[in-house]
Amino acid sequence: MRTLLSFCLFASAFSAAADIGRFIEPIQVAPKATVPSVRYVVKSSAFVSPHAAGPKTQEAAPIADSILIDRQLIEKRLGEALAHRFQATGRISAFLTREWVNCPSSSGFIVKIKDCSPDELTPSTFVRFSIWDQGKELGRFAEPIRMAHFVEVFYSKAPLARGTRLGLSNLSTRLVDILKQHAGSVPSQSRLSGYQLDSNVKANSPLKWSNLSKVVLVKKGQIVDVFASGNGIYVTMKGMALNDGVEGGNVIVRNLSSDKEFPAKVLNENSVKVHL
C-alpha cells in the first residue's frame, strides 16, 4: 500500500511538470565560441624608426660650383673692388693691359685690393691684389690697369650765354667717362640753384665746373636785414654789406646804428645771419 502511494505521487508530479513545459520557451544553446589566437608583443624603451631598416648612407656636402676666372670676370670683380675702395658713385670699369692666365676657383671667390699707385681714381693705375676662395689665398697679382668712371653729367640743350642761371629747362643728362675727355664735368646729382654760367657754352656740350661761378646774392654797399640769435636772444637790425657775398658765403656787415663791423653768413638776396 505504501509503495502504491509513492508511485501515485511521482506520476502526479511528472504530469504537472509536463503541462508547465508548454508555457516555457525552449532554450537555445549556442555552440562554444572559438578563442581568438593571442599575439604576444615585446615592447622596448628604445625608439623604433617608422621606416624600414636599410643601409645607412651619409649625405654628401654641397660642392661649390667650379669655374675659371677669365679676363672678363676678373675685370668685372676688379671694377667692383675699386669702386668700393674709393667709394665712387656711378660705375667703375677696369681693363687689364697685359695677358691674363685663367685661374680655377669656385663661384664665391673674392678680390682683395692691397694698394693702388696712384691711390686715386685715374685713367691708368698699377694695382696689387689677391684672389681668395673659401678662406684660402689662390694667388697674388700686380697688374697695370686702365680705368673708366661712368657717371651721369649735365649737357647743354642749346647755346648758353654767360650769366645764365641754370636749371632742368636748359640742361639734359648723359652717361660719360669722367676720367678722360669729360674730366671736371658736373654730375647730374649736383645742386645748381646757387650757380650761373661764367662763360659761354655751346649746344650739346658737357657742363663743367670751370664754366660755373656762384651767383652773387649780396652786393657791396647793399642794405641787408641782419638776423642775430644765440643764448636765448633773437635780434634783427639793418646793416650794410662791405663786400659781395654768394649763397652760403660770408660778408662783412656794418651796423647802421653803432657802426660796428662783423662777419655774417649770406641767406638770400636781402638777408644775412649772425650767431651770437
Q: What is the arithmetic mean of pLDDT over 117-131?
A: 94
Render pLDDT for 95-123 as a digit per residue (tens, 0 to 9).
999 999 999 999 899 999 999 999 999 99
Domain of 234, CATH number, reads: 2.30.30.760
23's grid cell: 508555457
Residues whose CB is less than 8 angstroms from the CB of residue 87 and which lie 6 or more positions away in sequence, other chains included = none
**Nearest Cα residue to 247 out of 220, 226, 216:** 216
234 falls in which pLDDT band (50, 70, 90)? Answer: confident
The total number of structural domains in the chain stands at 2
Listed range (11-15, 170-174, 186-190, 212-216) with the worst mean pLDDT: 11-15
Query: Rounded CA gap, 82 and 179, in Å?
Result: 14
Q: Which amino acid appears at position 136 of this protein?
A: K
Q: Which of 150, 170, 203 is the last residue of a domain?
A: 150
Query: Rounded CA gap, 74 and 95, in Å?
Result: 9
> Is the pLDDT reported for residue 12 higher than 70?
no
Q: What is the arithmetic mean of pLDDT over 26-45?
A: 48
Tell me the residue range of the domain where 225 lies.
216-275
From residue 40, alpha-carbon distances to 37, 210, 226 in Å are 10, 100, 105
255's grid cell: 651796423
Cell 689677391 belongs to which residue?
A: 130
Query: Rounded CA gap, 155 and 202, in Å?
Result: 10
Residue 203 maps to a domain:
no
Q: Which of 150, 171, 202 is the last residue of a domain?
A: 150
Parallel/antiparallel/unpaired status of strands 212-214 and 195-197? antiparallel
Q: Which of 129, 150, 171 is the last residue of a domain?
A: 150
39 falls in which pLDDT band (50, 70, 90)? Answer: low
Residue 18 maps to a domain:
no
Q: Give the pLDDT confidence score for residue 112 in this predicted structure.
A: 95
pTM recorded for the entire structure? 0.59
> Is the pLDDT reported for residue 179 higher than 80?
yes
Residue 259 maps to a domain:
yes
Q: Give the pLDDT confidence score for residue 56 in this predicted structure.
A: 52
Query: Rounded CA gap, 53 and 93, in Å?
Result: 59
Query: Rounded CA gap, 176 and 180, in Å?
Result: 9
The answer to whether the CB of 126 falls within 8 A of the CB of 117 is yes
Residue 223 maps to a domain:
yes
Parallel/antiparallel/unpaired status of strands 271-275 and 223-230? parallel
DSSP 26-55: PPP-PPPPPPPPP------SS---SSPP--
Q: What is the arithmetic mean of pLDDT over 71-81?
A: 94
Cell 676666372 belongs to which residue?
A: 69
Q: Give the pLDDT confidence score for residue 230 in this predicted structure.
A: 81
Query: Rounded CA gap, 74 and 100, in Å?
Result: 9
Residue 162 maps to a domain:
no
Residue 191 maps to a domain:
no
9 falls in which pLDDT band (50, 70, 90)? Answer: very low
